[in-house]
């Protein structure tokens, strides 16, 4: 199996894993992984007052998984260059980006990691959305 397929298979495993939100719906906790998504008292109260059945949890998890899959599909289409990023400032042609295999001899240097930049990008996205 090549590295691209390994990455995509891992993505499907993560989609399944992170869509399993039944426990969070049945016994919600105010704290989130990221502080920006902390639940309000009203949101907690609304979840706590709802009686979720096994079937409703299953349906919600399928919906969440479907939405995450569509989000990743869009992201990969933009990465492949068959879709365009929505918040570009210039009119140049978007050709996509390339992810490449790293080797042991590659130096890390000052490389920025996308998983770290994701949180910084949130604040930039929020600023753009609020200035529209």
Predicted confidence band at 25 (pLDDT cuts at 50, 70, 90)? very high
Please tell me the predicted confidence (pLDDT) of residue 90: 83
DSSP string, 60-81: HHHHHHHHHHHHHHHHHHHHHT
- What's the pLDDT score for residue 108? 67
Q: What is the pLDDT of residues 30-57, one digit of tens each?
A: 878 788 899 999 999 999 999 999 999 9
- Cα–Cα nearest to 22, from 65, 60, 51: 60
Q: What is the mean pLDDT of residues 80-89?
A: 90
State residue 49's pLDDT score: 94
Mean pLDDT of the chain: 90
Within 13 Å and on the Cβ side, how many CA atoms surround 14?
9
pLDDT digits (tens, 9 = 90+) for 85-125: 988 888 889 999 988 888 888 776 677 888 889 989 999 99
Give the pLDDT of residue 87: 86
pLDDT of residue 8: 93
Contacts of residues 30-36 at CB distance under 8 Å and 24 or more positions apart, as own/partner, are 34/119, 36/122
pLDDT at residue 132 above 80? no
């Amino acid at each position: 199996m090549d590295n691209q397929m390994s990455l995509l298979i891992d993505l499907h495993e993560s989609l399944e894993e992170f869509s399993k939100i039944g426990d969070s719906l049945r016994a919600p906790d105010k704290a989130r992984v990221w502080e920006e998504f902390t639940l309000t008292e009203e949101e907690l109260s609304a979840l706590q007052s709802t009686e979720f059945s096994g079937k409703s949890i299953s349906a919600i998890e399928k919906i969440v998984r479907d939405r995450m899959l569509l989000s990743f599909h869009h992201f990969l289409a933009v990465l492949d260059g068959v879709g365009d990023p929505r918040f570009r400032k210039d009119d140049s042609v978007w050709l996509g980006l390339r992810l490449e295999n790293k080797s042991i001899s590659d130096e890390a240097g000052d490389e920025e990691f996308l998983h770290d930049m994701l949180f910084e990008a949130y604040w930039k996205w929020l600023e753009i959305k609020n200035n529209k």
